[in-house]
Chains A and B, each alone.
Chain A
Amino acid sequence: MADRPGPAAGTAPPRGGAIEAREARLAWGLVLPALATVLLVALFPLAWTVWESLHLHDLRMPWLGRPFVGLGNYAEALGDPRFLQAMGHTLLFTVATVALELGLGLVLALALNRAYRGRGLVRAAVLIPWAIPTVVAALLWRFMFDAEAGIVNAVAMGAGFMDRPFVWFVEAGAAWVPVILSDVWKMTPFVALLLLAGLQNIDASLYEAARIDGASAWRQFRHVTLPLLKPAILVALIFRTLDAFRVFDLIYVLTGGGPGTSTEPIALYTFNSLLQNLRFGYGSALSVLVFLVTFGLALLYIRFLGADLLGGGE
């Protein structure tokens, strides 16, 4: 097959061969730079990471060499309680933030969709949290939840909820409160914006018809808004789930994964192993595992929801 003349053999019918072959060559020539770029920046590092993950490679201990250990690093990860806990934390964070952001984002989008004066201004203002860099937002929230100088403790003490400052960041459970709240605060506007775009695509005459038929506001929402908003909801869901699963900077700044490791997500543990401890082999194995999980999530979404997403289906 490789010996046959014509690069796109088997795909193009032989009729008018010369021109088509030339066009195919041109097409390949045009696509090649893009393909090469993808290969270089996406596939090559990925393949390298997979290869690295099959070795024992610790930069701090050059005397160990770089022996091939097969799936040893993966076996270590699956038996490593810190890895499993980090996966659990990531799952908790993802479920909690995505659920809250979708719920609040929907409410916000419905409110923004109403016609009122100054709507443009309000829409722009709502986006401010989203526009703030994550590290800055995380610092803001850390100061707000600071035990001594933070506004949260000041308000709670003023209202009589606590008699001495509560140190949020040393309690394994309570440390999650600023983590989840800050992500919800920051990302809800993004979800709202996506949903708002979906809402504006819904034909107003559908609501008119529903009203004439005597449908209540709830029935209109349930049977007109929600079904037609589904594609937008799915887009928001995919974006937020994949993002939340890879959360890093927010938690790095807010809690550093602490107290102990009780808020450490998988991305932070991977960063620690790979770049802090310079365990290239083990850290690469963790990276590959994270990649597999996010890839699997993406496939699931596409498999079950893709039909709606692509506007086909029903």
Chain B
Amino acid sequence: MPGRRSAGPSPVPPRHPRGRPAAPAAAVSAAAVSALCVAAVALAGCRAEAPGGPAVVTFPGSAVGAEAVVLRRQLERFMEARPDIRVISRPTPDAADQRHQLYVQWLNAGASTPDILQLDVVWTPEFAAAGWILPLDRFAPDTAAFFPATIAANRWDGTLFALPWFVDVGMLYWRTDLLDAAPRSFAEVERAVARHVGATAPPDTAGGPVPRYGFVWQGARYEGLVTVFQEIAGGFGGRILDERGRVAVDEEPAIRALTWMRDAVAGGAGPRVSPRTTLTWHEEEARFAFQNGQALLMRNWPYAVSLLATDPDSRVRGHFAIAPMPAAPGGEPTAALGGSQLAINARTEHPEAAWAVLEYLTRPEQMLERAALVGQYPTREVLYGEPELAEALGVDPAPVREIIARARPRPVSPVYTQLSEILQIRLHRALTGQAEPADALADAAREMRAFLRKVGLAPDGEGPDGG
């Protein structure tokens, strides 16, 4: 069973003497790099931390782009307000899996820095179960002000381990110059694509460019594919794990969902519902296609709204809107919940100072500033009633709010990353025609059950044969 202990010193013995190789051959260079970082920061920390000086906390974050700018600005304001605390930024990769890998190496090594961690929503249970992050309940955060789903996703075993910083949800972007209303069912998606894409499409439109593609989404073999699948499966009434944590991905609704996705990219004689190339796409490729007016429908996160609405290069300015994802009878429109969370390293030497930073960064003003500068949606539900948010985003946040309110976290499991990898491979095999959807999901379910059993996380109801 997973160590549900959470508070206090981590159960992991320090296993990482600095400067000496302490990892297997292939990992030596990576470990050495992180050891160097740890050493370098520790040195910097030592120098800055003269007796009686300010408490120094390290904050890892994006090193480039508008995100780095807004973070630096907010941290500087924070340090002006709190001269007793100094925040040092540590640049970390933007790619989620690389960041995850670095964090896990640091935390395994028992590093006390970075003091604050910026977590993807699906990592909170993993880090909490490992005893790597502090429970936050003792700081009495005002959880009632946040969207309930974002708080639920950051609880493990009933305890809050991270504060939601900004929120992401999957939603449907559609072309208002071509369609009268957003398609609400998968059948309507098919009809809309058949009517507006390909040879039979009317040549002249009300202003926007004629799309070449129907419905574009994130179909490359990575985490994004799992979120799209979760949303379409939800639309059919399916899910990955059930509420008791049992694997449910091989049930009928999930199979119907994957079959629909497969048929969308396989296509018959007519134009495909989704282009085959979407199976190599991440968020940005899909956004480019939609922004250039090449796609009729797109599944993406909210960040694209401001870009599509304000980017001078956007060819769909004024020609698009967002809506919940479609659903079939028996399912409901489903949005996967994403976004970033802030948590505190369990080994930090300055928990109070770290909490002060967390509390500051998740205040309404900072969230509004992030919305204005990087288009990220606040996790505080109350802000959506304020005119300032609409002003900051440049668009009406009400439709996004509705979708967030109904968003579902991905399976809350400390081994989510492994479950997701199993699923990614099987989904991609089915979508690229290497396996039938039912077989692919049966394989995925078998593998997921075996893995959960092996690590002692199989729920009680799961039979010995995983049936």
Contacts and interface: CB of A to CB of B under 8 A. Distances in A.
The finding on whether chains A and B are genuine partners in a shared complex, rather than unrelated, reads: yes
A63 B129 contact: yes
B101 A45 contact: no
A175 to B, nearest CB: 9
Nearest to B429: A260
Contacts of A167: 275-277, 279-280
Contacts of B30: 275
Interface residues of B, number: 46
Interface stretch (A237-245, A278-286, A295-303): A278-286
A45 B418 contact: no
Contact of B25 (A49, A63, A277): A49
A274 B108 contact: no
Contacts of A260: 221, 425-426, 428-429, 432, 434-435
A263 to B, nearest CB: 11
B37 interface: no
A60 B104 contact: yes
Interface in B262-290: 275-277, 279-280
Contact of A170 (B129, B277, B414): B277
Given A170-B276, A172-B432, A277-B421, A59 B105 contact: yes
Contacts of A262: 429, 432, 434
A258 B428 contact: yes
B201 interface: no
Contacts of A275: 26-27, 30, 101
Given A167-B279, A259-B429, A45 B24 contact: yes
Given A59-B105, A276-B97, A46 B25 contact: yes
Interface residues of A, number: 40
A148 interface: yes
Nearest to A169: B280
Interface string A145-158: 00110000000000
Interface in B1-60: 1-3, 10-12, 21, 23-28, 30
Contacts of B432: 170-172, 258-260, 262
A277 to B, nearest CB: 7
A147 B276 contact: yes
A198 interface: no
A300 B25 CA distance: 24
A274 B429 CA distance: 23
Contacts of B101: 275-276, 278
A64 interface: yes
A254 to B, nearest CB: 11
A294 to B, nearest CB: 13
B314 interface: no
A256 interface: yes
A170 B277 CA distance: 8
A48 interface: yes
Interface string A62-87: 11100000000000000000100000
Interface string B443-467: 0000000000001100000000000
B126 interface: yes
A45 B22 CA distance: 9
A258 B221 contact: yes
A63 B280 CA distance: 36
Contact of A60 (B26, B418, B429): B418
Contacts, number: 124
A52 interface: yes
Contacts of B415: 60-61
Contact of B277 (A148, A270, A278): A148
Given A59-B104, A259-B432, A287 B25 contact: yes
A170 B27 CA distance: 31
B417 interface: yes
A53 B23 CA distance: 11
A111 B456 CA distance: 64
A63 B425 contact: no
A171 B276 CA distance: 10
A62 B132 CA distance: 10
A287 B24 contact: yes
Contact of B26 (A165, A256, A259, A270): A270
Contacts of B24: 45, 48-49, 52-53, 274, 280, 283-284, 287
Interface string B93-106: 00001000100110
A113 interface: no
Interface string B174-216: 0000000000000000000000000000000000000000000
B130 interface: yes
Most-contacted residue by chain B among A64, A171, A260, A278 (CB, 10 A): A260
Most-contacted residue by chain B among A165, A271, A277 (CB, 10 A): A277
A130 to B, nearest CB: 25
Contacts of B130: 60-63
B131 interface: yes
A44 B26 CA distance: 12
A261 B3 CA distance: 33
B366 to A, nearest CB: 31
A277 B105 contact: no
A44 B22 CA distance: 10
Contacts of A259: 221, 279, 428-429, 431-432, 434
B425 A61 contact: no
Most-contacted residue by chain A among B12, B27, B129, B426 (CB, 10 A): B27
A49 B26 contact: yes
Interface of A: 44-46, 48-49, 52-53, 58-64, 82, 147-148, 165, 167, 169-172, 256, 258-262, 270-271, 274-278, 280, 283-284, 287
11 contacts: A48-B21, A63-B11, A82-B425, A167-B277, A167-B279, A170-B280, A171-B432, A171-B433, A259-B432, A274-B27, A283-B26
Interface of B: 1-3, 10-12, 21, 23-28, 30, 97, 101, 104-105, 108, 126, 129-131, 220-221, 275-277, 279-280, 414-415, 417-418, 421, 425-426, 428-429, 431-435, 455-456
